[in-house]
Amino acid sequence: MKKRFLGIVAVIAAFTMIIAGCGNSSTSSDKANGNAGSKEVSGSITAVGSTALQPLVEAASKQYTAENPKAQINVQGGGSGTGLTQVQQGAVDIGNSDVFAEEKDGVDASKLVDHRVAVVGMAPVVNKDVGVKNISKQQLIDIFTGKITNWKDVGGKDEKITIINRAEGSGTRATFEKWGLDGATPIKAQEQDSSGTVRKIVSETPGAISYLAFSYIDDSIQGLSLDNVEPKEENVATNDWKIWAYEHMYTNGEAKGLTKTFLSYITSKDVQNDLVPQLGYQSIHSMKVERDSKGNVTEVK
């Protein structure tokens, strides 16, 4: 009887050890998963390129590094061409661009991975006194190519048209010429780099016309409708308003480490629904269509 009792005790003890072992194994696994999930992000990366995209990347990087103090994100301008060239060469981690890599000469787009982080709508803008709020797209082309030189020819005042262009190489200019002018080359005119300067000149110059991102259009100037379509974000989302562009962040191959986590952060719904519109950009999540480098438009599924 005593032997039988001792045997039962031994079995119970063994069973208890098995249960405990299973419990410890589960706990260890949970801790491991927890540690992996809560691991602090660290390291340093550099993003270079588009000055139009720079404010968003800088603001997002400040928010991100505030939440991840061991991470460092360096953001610099230089233009889309510089960003694409440097990321292709491996000199930087991210190349910021207003245009598709396929649209830049000397860039091997096949080596780069595109991360679209925002959309920018652009519109022709005029001095408020010209007396015009809507013109046809053909009239817009004729104005910028010098065929129409007076506002009276498009229903406005008897006033000479003064064209203010963006500088050669500007992503805004490339987008406007491609989608606003259907690829036509504008006549030689005054050129300005800064959107703020363009807005000021147009607001103060009788008969002036130029083009700006939606975020720069305010009460000091008049944004023009084209063929009775207004320059609004909801029209960009459906491609009814065609003068728009993606803001791209390119990587050389698939993103890894801090680069990958930062790109995931900037395309997250929290950033897209809050920071992106705050800074005058349009969320990629608002788009009902998408457009490739060749201009093909398809519905977002």
The model's pLDDT over 145-161, given as tens digits with 9 standing for 90+, comes to 999 999 999 999 999 99
| Strand pairing category for 208-213 and 112-126 | antiparallel
CATH of domain 121-238: 3.40.190.10
Q: Are the beta carbons of 86 and 95 closer than 8 angstroms? A: yes
Q: Which two tokens stand for residue 11?
A: 């079995």
Helix runs in 41-156, H state only: 54-67, 80-89, 137-144
**What's residue 54's pLDDT?**
92
Q: If you write DSSP's letter for every residue of 196-230 in order, what string do you get?
A: HHHHHHHHHSTTEEEEEEGGG--TTSEEPEETTB-
pLDDT tens, 2-15? 444 444 444 444 44
Q: Which two tokens stand for residue 161?
A: 């048209």
**What's residue 28's pLDDT?**
28
Separation of alpha carbons 102 and 28, rounded Å:
50
The domain covering 43-119+244-299 belongs, at the CATH homologous superfamily level, to Periplasmic binding protein-like II (3.40.190.10)
Neighbours of 76 (CB within 10 A): 17
pLDDT tens, 94-148? 999 989 999 888 999 999 999 999 999 999 999 999 999 999 999 999 999 999 9
What pTM did the predictor assign?
Answer: 0.79
Q: Are the beta carbons of 84 and 107 closer than 8 angstroms? A: yes
Higher pLDDT, 38 or 213: 213
Start and end residues for every CATH 3.40.190.10 domain found in the chain: 43-119+244-299, 121-238
Separation of alpha carbons 41 and 27, rounded Å:
24
Q: Are the beta carbons of 89 and 182 closer than 8 angstroms? A: no
User: Helix, strand or coil for residue 3?
Assistant: helix
Separation of alpha carbons 261 and 238, rounded Å:
30
Q: Are the beta carbons of 73 and 45 closer than 8 angstroms? A: yes
